[in-house]
Chains A and B, each alone.
Chain A
Amino acid sequence: MKKFVFLLAVLSCHLTAQAQEAGVVTYERSQSWVKIFSRMTFLSQEEKDRMKLTWGSREDWKVKMKLYFSPEQSLYTYESDQATSDDGRYSWRQDEFVIQRNFDKEKKLEIMEMLGRTYVIDDSLRTPRWKVTNKIKEVAGHICMSAETTDSLKNQKITAWFAQDIPVQAGPEQYFGLPGLILELDINDGDALITATKVEFKPIDKEMPKPKAKGKKISDKEYKKLIADHIADSIKAQRNPYWAIRY
């Protein structure tokens, strides 16, 4: 009997350990076009103020995202492949967007519809250079610590809040590599905010979608060049580059 109890304890320990390390996070991603537009260097202060006064009090655009995570791998995509208006009467398709990470093999596979076509970025993983700060706060019931990095490609300041009690290095969007699961990601002081609304622990092997990597295959280097060229061209042509690429 004692043995049985011990076994049970071990088993449950094992189970909880596993449960704490794999699961699905639902995020709400909001994006403020006003703030993004306000960063466009080709606009004058008058134009920025006008935009802010006209549109600033409108609610930010929101969409739900999902992250499947385990210590070995992660997959991040839209919760649904279609978005609907608040009243549900209209729907539109989401762009193709899947970010897959394999931490064991240090590989990534990203499927992104941007610049008028679907690209598949198949390359090795490169961890962002994180700076850990001393800020703590709670996100979705988990105490998180913050870390910062910068995206030199899009010139963004990234603030991530990672859970101290979920020892998984996965995260939303293209970010990962912290001692805990990233539950909130703030791009450029609130231009875009990805916040976890629900964290569920469960095995993900069956549930995790297996997306087809259909599209133009490019390397990480080619992806970076594509984005850098597009941003430079757009700014030169006085257009907002983020209509065509993800912010």
Chain B
Amino acid sequence: MRQLLSLLLVIACLGSAYSQTTARFSVKGTVVDSGSTALVGATVMLLTPKDSSLVNFGRSTDKGTFELKGNKRMPYLLKISYVGYLPYQKEFTPSDDAVTDLGNIELKPITKELFEVVVRTAKAPLSIRGDTIEYNASSFKVPPGSTVEELLRKLPGVQVDQEGNIKAQGEDVKRVTVDGKTFFGTDPKLATKNLPAEAISKVQVFNDKTEKAKITGVDDGVKEKTVNLELKESHKKGGFGKVTAGVGTDARAQIRGNYNKFNSKEQFSVIGFGNNTNQSGLSWDDYQDFRGSQSFNWSDQGDFGFSNGGYIFFGDDNDSFGVPVNGGGRDNRGFSKNYAGGANYNYDTKKTKLSTNYFYNQTQQTLDAVSTRENFLPNGSLRTDIGSSRINFNGIHRGSLRFEQKLDSTNTLIVIGNGRFNKGDDSFNSLEQFRRTGSTLSGQSRINNSSNYDAFALQTTAIFTHRFQKKGRNFSLSTAYNRNNTNGDADQRSENTLVTDGTNPVNPIRTINQINQTNSLRSEFKASALYTEPISKKVFWETFYNFSFRRDEVDRDVFDRVDPNEVFNDSLSRYYVNNFTYNRLGSSFRYTNKGFNFSFGGAALNFHQEGQFTRDQSSSAAPTTVGRTFFTVVPNASMNYDLKNNRYLRANYSVNIRQPSTRDLQPVVDNSNPRYIQEGNPNLLPQLTHSLSGGYNMFNPATFTNVFINVNYNYNINQIVYNQTVDSLLITRTRPINIDGGQSVGSYVSFGFPLKKTKSNLNVWSNVNFGNNPIYINNVLNKTRSNNYNLGLRLDYTPSEKFTLYTNGNWSVTNTSYSISSLQNQRIYSYNYNADMNVLFPAGIYFNGNFNYRIYQNKRFGFDQKVPILNLSVYKVIFKNKRGEIRLTAYDVFKRNLGITQSASQNFISQERVQTLSRYFMLNFTYNMRGVKATTRRQGGMIIF
């Protein structure tokens, strides 16, 4: 049995050996050069003739011979390559023998010129396809602005004579094509003399059939030398634009348009809009289209050091200087008419980036409001009912320039200049009625104010960065000069009366009839330096220094109108100069290793204020002087840890310092509302907030599950709060003071996961915040405690491309308690439900319905407001290439947009209702050169970096 088996095995082996000799074969040969010298180590490849697929390969031996064994019996393409030689290619069919000997194979050398110049020097890929040689144009340097002709002169094997006639490999070039197409007629010089060299990616030189042969289809065997120029993808110039116009009921109308033109280095864009539908700013998409490559800048922050440097700023640094972006949303209060327009130009190369733009926008807003405000006092409360009407206008011209230059490989300079000029006016009329503890009318004010102002502001920054040879050693220096000049005139008239019998206003207690003129000039010079020294590969030592000098000069002249004269008001007029000097020196150590980043350090800061106050600059009285110095040392620590598999942990401790606003520091009485008199406090200290925060987040890309957890704690020292005193005449006076002990703690937890992958996602989140804010009211300390609990749920349902539904709900409860009067404690419920549905009907008609339902409840005031807002739209994409869209929209179908706001804070609660843009219908038409995207999917922002 065993013998039989081994016999069988032997037969099987023999069989396989036999079949191998017939089905498989070896190919051999010898690789030599034109002088029959053996080429050692040449690459020998067997390819399939059909698609050049690699089947087998080997190398020639030191005698130039090669043998590739065990190949399937079929025709092959033999390819041999050797450095400095043209690749050799030959198709062959194996003989019936076990070995096919191809004998001596001679390789031809690549022209030395071609090889050295193209491959070695220019490092350009040289492509040899039969008789086509392809050059990579970008590898041949020509001066900027050169034509293709000059480029061709640089190519080895190509000659261009004085007249521009081209010769390639000794033959006249009969035709020049661009991307395979004949360029403006048959004269080859037309293309080469007119096209810029920088637009070309590849130059191909080959023999082509004649034009006649191509048209007739009869190959006459005549070949013409042809040069084909392939255009760069990036250089293809582009332009696109979009315009949307709409008309609606109630004389509502809007128009918006933008146009962009660009090439690989330059971007130019214009944008404009006008509407009376409360849209005052750009959407993020429009902003990005407008600003292009300069939409987001990382390194424009010149205030180095803690809590400043290294953060990402979206849009321009200072909002008031930047192009207004409000996400395309609409103001939910009042009515506004808006117009805007601007132009932007960017020039972008690796070394130089220049961006400049101009933008103007104006808004006229009408706010007719009814509001109620209740202030809690140690002995009862004060209720104010206000009916008011305000019309304001604001027009802003902005210009900005940003220039970034890589001076060389180690030095970079950024210069930024922003300017703004605005003009505005405001007129305000109101009737305020005061009721003390109960509903009896106890006082009344009529206010009739108007004002206008103009302002010019300038902001300039220069940032210089030097990188030393040693990696990690960097030095940065910045300077900035800012200036803000505002001139305003205000006309204030009010009549304030006391009601004694509960119904009739008698005894005008005070009548104001004033003119006030305020000129303020604020200028600031800043300088910062940052030095980073690598102590080891993992430890860095950073030192920074900040200096700032600010000078505020304010001249406020108040005149009482005493017919027929205007009398200077000594008590309200004020002239002052305030100088602030700020110095900060800080240092920190940073440890960085494999995703673990930890830093700790501290900074010492000195804040010095020197002020002089008089009634008027012409006043002979000695000015009051204020001089204060504030010194503190603040610690700072932060940690970031990449825990692998998309899980991150972070913690941060810092002390944030908030300087008092100029308005709060002004020793000026603002009586524009005679019942609510605001006064500044020149002795105000900066507010210090100790902040502690931590977080964890993870994302599992396989299951699309994500978790976010954040906690934070803040403790305030010298918190700036507004002390209130209400006198017997029910006039409230507020004055900012410093107070310690305010604190807040908050947490946020979110969890998201798919219920069914790609079809539906569920997200649950919750945040809980506790706050405690002390304040003095009529000299009694009150602690306002505010506890907020919030729960949210989001469900996205996207079963198909024809139907999607996005829903979310948010439930929030806020308990506010006041230590001086627990009677005033209140609980506010706020619920919000939202549903967004998209349907694609036959014939390409899309439907979108958005329903929002908001509920506010405050039982103590019997306040129970339900606001359902329904917006519907139907649209269809029209025209060739989807370039047009026609859309019919119904806004606020139930006419319930009532402009209600409600707030409770410190020691008051207020509710306000503003007459607001409500139900209207609008028919919009959009033309987009790039095509309109219609989808049932919600559009998400695209963040790349």
Which A residues fall within an 8 A CB radius of B?
A: 33-34, 37, 42-47, 49-51, 53-59, 81-82, 84, 87-93, 113, 115-118, 129-138, 143, 145-147, 164-165, 167, 177-180, 230, 233, 236-238, 243-245
The distance from the CB of A25 to the nearest CB of chain B, in whole angstroms, is 17
Instruction: Say yes or no: A82 contacts B125, CB within 8 Å.
Output: no
Q: Which residues of A contact B857 (CB under 8 A)?
A: none
Instruction: Say yes or no: B87 contacts A145, CB within 8 Å.
Output: yes
Instruction: Say yes or no: A47 contacts B534, CB within 8 Å.
Output: no
**B175 touches A (CB below 8 Å):** no
Instruction: Say yes or no: A145 contacts B944, CB within 8 Å.
Output: no
**B595 touches A (CB below 8 Å):** yes
5 sampled A-B residue pairs with Cβ under 8 A: A82-B593, A90-B597, A92-B597, A116-B645, A131-B54
Instruction: Say yes or no: B128 contacts A93, CB within 8 Å.
Output: no
Instruction: Say yes or no: A53 contacts B293, CB within 8 Å.
Output: yes
Instruction: Say yes or no: A93 contacts B52, CB within 8 Å.
Output: no
Spot the interface stretch: B10-18, B384-392, B701-709, B830-838. B701-709
Q: Give residues 536-565 of B contacting A (CB, 8 Å).
A: 538, 540, 542
**B594 touches A (CB below 8 Å):** yes
With a 10 A CB-CB cut-off, give which of A59, A88, A165 has the most chain B CB atoms: A88
Q: Report the Cα distance A147→B87, complex, angstroms.
A: 13
Q: Which residues of B contact A116 (CB under 8 A)?
A: 645-646, 699-703
Spot the interface stretch: B40-48, B570-578, B860-868. B40-48
Identity of the chain B residue whose Cβ is nearest the Cβ of A55 in the assembled complex: B944
Instruction: Say yes or no: A132 contacts B47, CB within 8 Å.
Output: yes
A136-B125 contact, Cβ under 8 Å, with A87-B474, A89-B590: yes
Instruction: Say yes or no: A90 contacts B592, CB within 8 Å.
Output: yes
Identity of the chain B residue whose Cβ is nearest the Cβ of A115 in the assembled complex: B702
Q: Which residues of A contact B644 (CB under 8 A)?
A: 93, 113
Q: Report the Cα distance A238→B646, complex, angstroms.
A: 20
Q: Which residues of B contact A89 (CB under 8 A)?
A: 472, 474, 532, 540, 542, 590, 592
With a 10 A CB-CB cut-off, give which of A44, A49, A58 has the most chain B CB atoms: A44
Instruction: Say yes or no: A145 contacts B43, CB within 8 Å.
Output: yes
Identity of the chain B residue whose Cβ is nearest the Cβ of A162 in the assembled complex: B43
- Checking A54, A93, A146, A179 against B293 with a beta-carbon cut-off of 8 angstroms, the contacting residue is A54
The distance from the CB of B751 to the nearest CB of chain A, in whole angstroms, is 16
Q: Which residues of B contact A230 (CB under 8 A)?
A: 701-702
Instruction: Say yes or no: B296 contacts A53, CB within 8 Å.
Output: no
Q: Which residues of B contact A45 (CB under 8 A)?
A: 930-931
A92-B595 contact, Cβ under 8 Å, with A50-B289, A87-B467, A137-B119: yes
**13 extra interchain contacts, Cβ-Cβ under 8 A, other than A49-B240, A92-B642, A115-B700?**
A46-B242, A46-B931, A51-B942, A57-B293, A92-B594, A117-B702, A131-B54, A137-B125, A137-B126, A138-B119, A179-B43, A230-B701, A237-B757
Identity of the chain B residue whose Cβ is nearest the Cβ of A143 in the assembled complex: B83
The distance from the CB of A18 to the nearest CB of chain B, in whole angstroms, is 14
Q: Report the Cα distance A50→B242, complex, angstroms.
A: 13
Instruction: Say yes or no: A243 contacts B701, CB within 8 Å.
Output: yes
- Checking A54, A59, A244 against B292 with a beta-carbon cut-off of 8 angstroms, the contacting residue is A54
The distance from the CB of A81 to the nearest CB of chain B, in whole angstroms, is 6
**B285 touches A (CB below 8 Å):** yes
Identity of the chain B residue whose Cβ is nearest the Cβ of A134 in the assembled complex: B128
**B528 touches A (CB below 8 Å):** no
A46-B125 contact, Cβ under 8 Å, with A131-B54, A179-B59, A244-B702: no
- Checking A179, A237, A243 against B57 with a beta-carbon cut-off of 8 angstroms, the contacting residue is A179
Instruction: Say yes or no: A138 contacts B123, CB within 8 Å.
Output: yes
Identity of the chain A residue whose Cβ is nearest the Cβ of B84 in the assembled complex: A143
Q: Report the Cα distance A189→B124, complex, angstroms.
A: 16
Q: List 4 A-B pairs, minimum CB-CB distance, nearest first.
A: A244-B701, A88-B472, A93-B595, A44-B933
Identity of the chain A residue whose Cβ is nearest the Cβ of B465 in the assembled complex: A87
A54-B296 contact, Cβ under 8 Å, with A91-B597, A132-B54: yes
Which B residues fall within an 8 A CB radius of A?
A: 41, 43-45, 47, 51-54, 57-59, 79, 81-84, 87, 89, 119-120, 123-129, 134, 234, 238, 240, 242, 260, 262, 267, 285, 288-289, 291-293, 295-296, 348, 350, 353, 467, 471-472, 474, 532, 534, 538, 540, 542, 590, 592-595, 597, 642, 644-646, 699-704, 757-758, 928, 930-931, 933, 937, 940, 942, 944-945
Q: Which residues of A contact B288 (CB under 8 A)?
A: 50, 53-54
Q: Report the Cα distance A245→B285, complex, angstroms.
A: 28
Identity of the chain A residue whose Cβ is nearest the Cβ of B238 in the assembled complex: A49
The distance from the CB of B323 to the nearest CB of chain A, in whole angstroms, is 14
A131-B597 contact, Cβ under 8 Å, with A50-B289, A54-B293, A93-B642: no
Q: Which residues of A contact B542 (CB under 8 A)?
A: 89
Instruction: Say yes or no: B945 contacts A143, CB within 8 Å.
Output: no
Q: Report the Cα distance A82→B641, complex, angstroms.
A: 13
Q: Report the Cα distance A113→B646, complex, angstroms.
A: 10
Instruction: Say yes or no: A135 contacts B126, CB within 8 Å.
Output: yes
Q: Which residues of A contact B79 (CB under 8 A)?
A: 132
- Say what secondary structure dominates the interface of chain A: mixed
The distance from the CB of A221 to the nearest CB of chain B, in whole angstroms, is 18
Instruction: Say yes or no: A137 contacts B467, CB within 8 Å.
Output: no
Identity of the chain A residue whose Cβ is nearest the Cβ of B700 in the assembled complex: A116
Q: Which residues of B contact A244 (CB under 8 A)?
A: 646, 701-702
- Checking B238, B937, B944 against A51 with a beta-carbon cut-off of 8 angstroms, the contacting residue is B944
- Checking A42, A93, A132 against B594 with a beta-carbon cut-off of 8 angstroms, the contacting residue is A93
The distance from the CB of B410 to the nearest CB of chain A, in whole angstroms, is 12
Instruction: Say yes or no: B595 contacts A91, CB within 8 Å.
Output: yes
Q: Which residues of A contact B702 (CB under 8 A)?
A: 115-117, 230, 244
Q: Which residues of B contact A42 (CB under 8 A)?
A: 937
Q: Which residues of A contact B928 (CB under 8 A)?
A: 46
Identity of the chain A residue whose Cβ is nearest the Cβ of B881 in the assembled complex: A45
Q: Report the Cα distance A135→B467, complex, angstroms.
A: 40
Identity of the chain B residue whose Cβ is nearest the Cβ of A82 in the assembled complex: B594
A53-B52 contact, Cβ under 8 Å, with A90-B592, A238-B940: no
Q: Report the Cα distance A180→B758, complex, angstroms.
A: 44
Instruction: Say yes or no: B701 contacts A34, CB within 8 Å.
Output: no
A145-B592 contact, Cβ under 8 Å, with A57-B293, A116-B701: no
The distance from the CB of A209 to the nearest CB of chain B, in whole angstroms, is 15
- Checking A91, A135, A167 against B41 with a beta-carbon cut-off of 8 angstroms, the contacting residue is A167
Instruction: Say yes or no: B267 contacts A53, CB within 8 Å.
Output: yes
Q: Which residues of B contact A82 (CB under 8 A)?
A: 593-595
Instruction: Say yes or no: B293 contacts A56, CB within 8 Å.
Output: yes
Instruction: Say yes or no: B127 contacts A33, CB within 8 Å.
Output: no
A135-B472 contact, Cβ under 8 Å, with A53-B262, A53-B289, A179-B43: no
Q: Which residues of B contact A88 (CB under 8 A)?
A: 471-472, 532, 534, 540
Q: Which residues of A contact B58 (CB under 8 A)?
A: 179
Q: Report the Cα distance A82→B591, complex, angstroms.
A: 13
Instruction: Say yes or no: B930 contacts A131, CB within 8 Å.
Output: no
The distance from the CB of B277 to the nearest CB of chain A, in whole angstroms, is 23
Instruction: Say yes or no: B534 contacts A164, CB within 8 Å.
Output: no
Instruction: Say yes or no: B700 contacts A50, CB within 8 Å.
Output: no
Q: Which residues of A contact B593 (CB under 8 A)?
A: 82, 91
The distance from the CB of A10 to the nearest CB of chain B, in whole angstroms, is 12
The distance from the CB of A42 to the nearest CB of chain B, in whole angstroms, is 8
Identity of the chain A residue whose Cβ is nearest the Cβ of B240 in the assembled complex: A49
A237-B267 contact, Cβ under 8 Å, with A132-B79, A138-B119: no
With a 10 A CB-CB cut-off, give which of B43, B123, B534, B703 has the most chain A CB atoms: B43
Q: Which residues of A contact B472 (CB under 8 A)?
A: 87-89
- Checking A50, A177, A233, A238 against B285 with a beta-carbon cut-off of 8 angstroms, the contacting residue is A50
Q: Which residues of B contact A117 (CB under 8 A)?
A: 645, 702
Q: Which residues of A contact B125 (CB under 8 A)?
A: 135-137, 146
Q: Report the Cα distance A233→B296, complex, angstroms.
A: 31
Instruction: Say yes or no: A145 contacts B81, CB within 8 Å.
Output: yes
Q: Report the Cα distance A188→B930, complex, angstroms.
A: 24
Q: Which residues of B contact A33 (CB under 8 A)?
A: 944-945
Q: Which residues of A contact B240 (CB under 8 A)?
A: 46, 49
Instruction: Say yes or no: B471 contacts A136, CB within 8 Å.
Output: no
Identity of the chain B residue whose Cβ is nearest the Cβ of A32 in the assembled complex: B944
With a 10 A CB-CB cut-off, give which of A53, A91, A164 has the most chain B CB atoms: A53
Q: Report the Cα distance A235→B553, complex, angstroms.
A: 60
